[in-house]
Structure 1
C-alpha cells in the first residue's frame, strides 16, 4: 500500500512504507481464539437450560465486547500506524480517531541506530533510534526488518548531505 501522494511535496517520493511488526498482533489473536473457544464451551454448557437463550445472548454480548476491545481495536491501531521514509523526510503517523504524527527532515538527522533482542532478531524486527537536532533521540519500536530500514535511512541521509 503506497503512502498517499497528496501528502508529499513536489519531487518527493516514498522510499519505504512500513506498519509496525506483526508481533504486536499475537496477543490480540490469542485473545480472539480464547474468547471464541470459551464462548463456544459455555454456550454448549447452557444449551439445554430453560434460561439458555438469555445466556447465549449474554455470552455473545460479552464475547463481542472482549473481541472488539482486545482484538479489533489493536488491529485497527496497527493498520493505521505508518512509518514512512521519503527522499526528503521520515514521517510517522499514528491514530484512528485522533491522529498524531511527526516529520523529521533528512537534513536534520544526525545519526541512525537500531537495536533488537534475540527474540526480535528471530522475528526480524527491532527498535529504530533517530537522533536529530532535537534534544531527545526518537525511538520507534516494532519496526519490521529494522536493519534494512536502518540501511535505507542511512543511505537517504547520506544522499541528502
Structure 2
C-alpha cells in the first residue's frame, strides 16, 4: 500500500489558485453566516499586509487549510483566517494550524494572542477548539467594538521553553 503524503505547514502563496479557492470559500461562508458589518475575515489584500504572516497546510499537492497571524503590538498577535477545507474537516487540521501559530507567537516573544470569531452555530466547533486550547473570553481588542455577532478570546502565552 503506498504511503500517504505527509501534512506540511508552510508559508502560503497568495497567488496560488488552490489557496485562492480556499480563501474564496472562507469569505463566502463568513458572508453567508454573519451580517456584512460583522465579517472580519481578511481578503487577499489584507493577508498580504506586512503585519500578517500566512500559512497553508497541504498534503502533497492538495491545500487543505490555512491560518494567519497578525502582529498587533510587539507583544500581541491576532489569529486570523483559520480555515480547513470542508472536505478535510474532522482530521485535526484546526488543532495543527492553531499549534503552529501558537508556537510561532511564542517564538516571536508575544505575551498573548487574541482572536475574534462568530457567535452563530456555524462557529461552535471553532469556539470549542479555542476554549480547549485555553483561550478565554475577553473584551474587544484592537479596533474591534462590541458586536452581538462576535465573541473575542485571548490566551496568555508562556515563553517557549
**Bin for the TM-score computed over the shorter chain:** under 0.3
More RCO (CA 8 Å, sep 6+) = 1
- Greater helix share, 1 or 2? 1
TM-score (norm 2): 0.23
Flag the structure with larger Rg.
1
TM-score (norm 1): 0.23
